[in-house]
Structure 1
Amino acid sequence: MVGDRDVLVIHDTRMLAHQPNAEEPFIPGKLDSRVQAMLSGLFEGAVKKWSYPEHPGRLSAITDLLMLEPVPGVGFGVARAATHEELGRVHTTSYLENIFALRGKQAWLDVDTTAVSPGSVDAAELAAGAAINAVEAVVQGRTGSAFALCRPPGHHAESVRARGFCLFNNVAVAAAHARAELGCERVLIVDWDVHHGNGTQEIFLASPDVLFFDTHRAAPFYPGSGNKEEIGQGLGEGTTINVPLPAGCGDPALIKAFREILVPAAEWFKPDLILVSAGFDLHRLDMCMNLSFDGFAAMTGIVQELADRLCNGRLVMVLEGGYNLEALARGVHTVLEVMAGGDYPEIVEPGVKEVAEIAAYHKDAFS
């Protein structure tokens, strides 16, 4: 029943200060001119101008719904900024110095439209810190599970490069912190965002102590990585699992992947902690794939059961993508209900039950 479990949501309004605006002037440079040239075609004569998709309204939509429809068992905490040392476990010193130099400025970091505004670096430090806070609360037994509402998101950020709206890799920072400071020897990261978590994969590609499992829309969909043959390298060979999927699939395919690939992999790996890069852009309203809210509930139920069975219930969600505000807010709400003890539905292909009932209704007419 919802409310039987306690869940801590880490949220901090200071993360709203990350506000890139594609129409405002940025620091002059080759990258800025390349991006502006790319965007000019979208602005010129457009009925609706392109705006930066990863905007503060994403977090506000989630928290507004949680205030309007509270989930029993859910409590709230604030974030603290991740330290240079904590970020340095997954990002290089030169990369961090370059990012910190942009504090208080507007700039383009990458041609795939990753940008910063004056408050972005502070927000990114808080996002990574929120993921750390969530992990500490769960591992130290102060809550059963936790959900870090992070922005900017993180799973595209590589050790030396900002990509896909991401500056610091929040889930990777949290995983590295769990191993370095909290006694977790093996960490499982599940990434169900519709986009492949290229940054998380790159950071842990050769690590035998982090199992990375990623379901995503297959290439050439952004970022174009995550083929099934990408299984890790060196000592980490076999600890990267990619499940690239076609655009039209939804609940049955995702749940089949979780039950038939993730579950046995997790049982083999025996993690001390499970982290989820929880993106909500695979919901049908985001028009990238075809997941429903029941699908999110079922995926949450599976990873919660794995956490209960394998690592004393230690489960942390870290927010990634999701750009349709209705799907994002309701998706997070749905996940929190399951984390708080709610049941999740059995997943069947939409319409199968109804067709069976109608077939039974007509059966005698044709016998």
Structure 2
Amino acid sequence: MATGFFWAEETFWHAGGNYALTLPVGGLVQPMVAGGLPEGPETKRRFKNLLDITGLAEELVMSGAESAKWDDLARVHPESYLKEFKATSDAGGGELGLRTPFGPGAFEIAARSAGLAKAAVAAVAKGELNNAYALCRPPGHHCLPDWPNGFCLLNNIGIAIEAAQAEGLMPRVAVLDWDVHHGNGTEAVYYDRGDVLTISIHQEKNYPLDTGDIADRGRGAGLGANINIPLPPGVGHDGYLTVMQDIVLPALHDFAPDMIIVACGFDASAFDPLSRMLATAETFAAMTKQVMRLADDICDGRVVCVHEGGYSEAYVPFCGHAVMTELAQSEIAAPDPMEATLRTRQPNARTQAFYAELIREMAETFKNPPPKG
């Protein structure tokens, strides 16, 4: 079997309104920027282009996908929200939540983005692909069922999971979110459920400011099935791998999901304008390798990465390519042009020891069952 890569040119045309443009976006007017927002098309377009240039794309099953249907969206989002989103989109765009401005046609583009995630998850769940990557835009992990948030208009991963479960494809799913911002939307979708494990590794109180606390462990049937790992700035490469080894991999192993879905944001990188975490392309490659090894043991290698954040146009492509090289088990690499520089910018030994102790303390917390009530 092969590695799939799901993408659609249409998603690169999503715009955050006309805030920084002189021409009205829509029709044949392609947005040059995202209305002044950091979430623009070029990080994703350059990621896909780099796969083409290195030749790795030729080793992948490159595919588009149909848009998610209304019924798919309605499994996660209430009809009232979907109708308001569609009407506002049809009227030329606007803003329904916090930091989610959008232009005309955004509803259809967001549905196509969710469709990419849905198709990737279904293909891997059915055994048509070994693993896959969905290059989704707009992203989804901040979108709550009834409230868009942080550039996210539909919860792509939630929609994909619910569609697959509706077909009886995978009763238990784990979502590992290593986007630098807390995956509050996906957490909200599954906070009361025990069949979906949600894990978020994020910079503490970066965005949103009021979610992502370590004490938030789920509720009711979902108690214990939500894990938040808030990290201080500057953790760096070694810190991320320690988090994976001490907290994430044991939790995934114990949960024993039928599939691992990675909310794959690259905004923890050292060059991202919206974070201070010092991760590198090698960090994302190493975490992907760790997940794949575990997945081989517990769920027949079923891994799907769904694109979330990442705002450095120059560096995101190298992080994404590093992940794809691991997923495809390819010999084709895109050498990190900043590798030598980034090695000198990692935390010093004393700081790394401090971070390691903090992570060990968090790991001990998760070994104990969460308090009820």
Question: Which residue number corresponds to residue 306 of structure 2?
Answer: 318
Deviations 1:16-61 (A, max 9, x none): 2311232369xxxxxxxxxxxxxxxxxxxxxxx9812212222211
Question: Which residue number corresponds to residue 13 of structure 2?
Answer: 17
Question: Which residue number corresponds to residue 295 of structure 2?
Answer: 307
Question: Which residue number corresponds to residue 325 of structure 2?
Answer: 337
State the alpha-carbon separation in 1 of the partners of residues 207 and 309 from structure 2: 15
1:11 counterpart letter in structure 2: W
State the alpha-carbon separation in 2 of the partners of residues 123 and 182 from structure 1: 27
State the alpha-carbon separation in 2 of the partners of residues 223 and 24 from structure 1: 30
Q: Is the 8 A contact 1:128 1:150 kept in 2?
A: yes
State the alpha-carbon separation in 1 of the partners of residues 216 and 14 from structure 2: 33
Residue among 266, 273, 277 paired with 1:280: 266
Q: Is the 8 A contact 2:272 2:311 kept in 1?
A: yes
List aligned pairs for 1:1-367, cutoff 5 A: 6-20=2-16, 21-23=18-20, 51-71=36-56, 73-104=59-90, 105-110=92-97, 112-219=98-205, 221-287=207-273, 288=275, 289-342=277-330, 350=343
Contiguous gaps of at least 5 residues in structure 1:
26-48, 357-367
Report the Cα offset of residue 84 of structure 1: 1.1
State the alpha-carbon separation in 2 of the partners of residues 203 and 327 from structure 1: 31
State the alpha-carbon separation in 1 of the partners of residues 45 and 251 from structure 2: 36
Report the Cα offset of residue 136 of structure 1: 1.2
State the alpha-carbon separation in 1 of the partners of residues 135 and 168 from structure 2: 21
Q: Is the 8 A contact 2:21 2:35 kept in 1?
A: no
Q: Is the 8 A contact 1:297 1:335 kept in 2?
A: yes
Deviations 1:294-322 (A, max 9, x none): 10011101111121111111110000000
Deviations 1:189-222 (A, max 9, x none): 0000000000000010011000001100001543
Deviations 1:202-249 (A, max 9, x none): 010011000001100001543431010010011100000010001111
Q: Percent identity?
A: 35
Q: 1:277 to 1:293 in 2, by over 3 A?
A: same
Q: Is the 8 A contact 2:258 2:299 kept in 1?
A: yes
Q: Is the 8 A contact 2:126 2:169 kept in 1?
A: no
SS of 2:271's equivalent in the other structure is helix
State the alpha-carbon separation in 2 of the partners of residues 152 and 351 from structure 1: 34
2:52 counterpart letter in structure 1: M
Report the Cα offset of residue 82 of structure 1: 0.4
Question: Which residue number corresponds to residue 359 of structure 1?
Answer: none
Give the root-mean-square deviation of aligned CA atoms: 2.4
State the alpha-carbon separation in 1 of the partners of residues 330 and 8 from structure 2: 26
Q: Is the 8 A contact 1:198 1:223 kept in 2?
A: no
State the alpha-carbon separation in 2 of the partners of residues 185 and 227 from structure 1: 27
Report the Cα offset of residue 177 of structure 1: 1.7
State the alpha-carbon separation in 2 of the partners of residues 83 and 304 from structure 1: 30
Contiguous gaps of at least 5 residues in structure 2:
23-33, 334-341, 350-373
SS of 1:134's equivalent in the other structure is helix
State the alpha-carbon separation in 2 of the partners of residues 214 and 292 from structure 1: 18
The alignment's TM-score, normalised by the length of structure 1, stands at 0.83
1:186 counterpart letter in structure 2: R
Q: Is the 8 A contact 2:43 2:314 kept in 1?
A: no
1:320 counterpart letter in structure 2: E
Aligned residues: 323
Deviations 1:86-134 (A, max 9, x none): 1111111111111111233121222x32111112111100010000100
Report the Cα offset of residue 182 of structure 1: 3.8
If you compute each CA radius of gyration, which structure gives the higher value, 1 or 2? 1
1:315 counterpart letter in structure 2: V
Question: Which residue number corresponds to residue 359 of structure 2?
Answer: none
